[in-house]
Structure 1
Amino acid sequence: MPGVPSDATQIQPLPLVVGTKHGGENHDLEREVVALFDSYRSRLLAYVSAFGISNNDAEELVQEVFLALFCHLRLGKSRKNLPGWIFRVAHNLALKHRRDGSARYQYADADNALAAHDHRLNPEEHLLSTRRRERLVSVVDALPEQDRLCLMLRAEGLRYREIARILGISLGSVSASLTRTLRRLTRVDGQ
């Protein structure tokens, strides 16, 4: 495609924000944001996809999150709990994207959120593992959206308070959702 670099992983310089820091600090900030992007990109893609957003749109939303992060940090705003900030912005952008009707719905495969298959298993173990994963995926797929999002955010290591703030629900709702979800998963996993 003309005008598009052939190396998709090429790092492009981030835009300057008028009236903010310049020079070496800008380069350090850019490296920090790129490192955060590398750490959180795949997890944010999985999270945003849980809203039924297509892969291409999810990629764009994740890029918007990190552009917003760069601008946020360039303006000298709070660095407190950047992972929570990143997921909250991703959540809000995904909701806005879906609400505006610009989302091309594509249901996320919950299997991506589960651990990768261990290729060292023998055929019998592989079959048992596959069946177990299918049962768990079916439970996750059947969860109400709020329960699925609570589970995904908790799996990312966010605390109940952070999840409540990101989803705009009470702390008790987060607790009830996770308890209900874990009970379902445990019951199905025990079969």
Structure 2
Amino acid sequence: MCTLKLGRYLSFIFICFAIIHSTALGSSYSIQPTLGCIISDHTWVQYSTYFFYPVLSGFLPIVIASTFSILAYHNVRRIVRRQLPIVRRKLDKQITAMVLMRVIAFVCLVLPYNAYRTYATNFPTSRSVPMAYAVGRLLQAILLSINNINFVINFYIFILFSSRFRRQAKLVLVKRCWERWKYWCCQINNQIEPENSIAPCNSQIESEENM
């Protein structure tokens, strides 16, 4: 059932759904003089309140990620009982730990912003109250920044919780990239010009002296 062809079809379907959904939801926004850019259509407000932010952006990804992390944890416990090499067991444990920590970070980083967006959609703050509006915008910017950390934190989580990943990262960054860059720089600095390139320079100097 789980084949590469099926994965491509599902990826294409999800991409098309995301494009159509984002276009339709974006068309429901309008600029209000006192509230700024908000969802003006009551139907889309209800949709964002009860489905988009709580379910599609919040609850559903968390449930899917948590389910697969729990399945991975049970799979590792079942592998431990089998007669498998110790190296294989250690690798499975490290991968499971990485997945679990990634799910925990995902929940902690995504949930606050989705909760705030659900609240802000139902109770927008008017610009006629400058202090409350400024506090709301500041809170939204902070929570959005925390939410965006979710997309760049993978490398650091894996570095912290996987010794094998640390060794592989060290191998790639230090022993391959750094050594190649150092060799390339040293090769440029130690280049020797051929003798035939010196002769034109000498003839040019002699001609300048004769002039």
The two structures share one fold, judged by TM-score above 0.5: no
| Structure with a larger share of its residues in helix | 2
Q: Which has the higher contact order (CA 8 A, sep 6+)?
A: 1
TM-score in terms of structure 2 length: 0.26
TM-score in terms of structure 1 length: 0.28
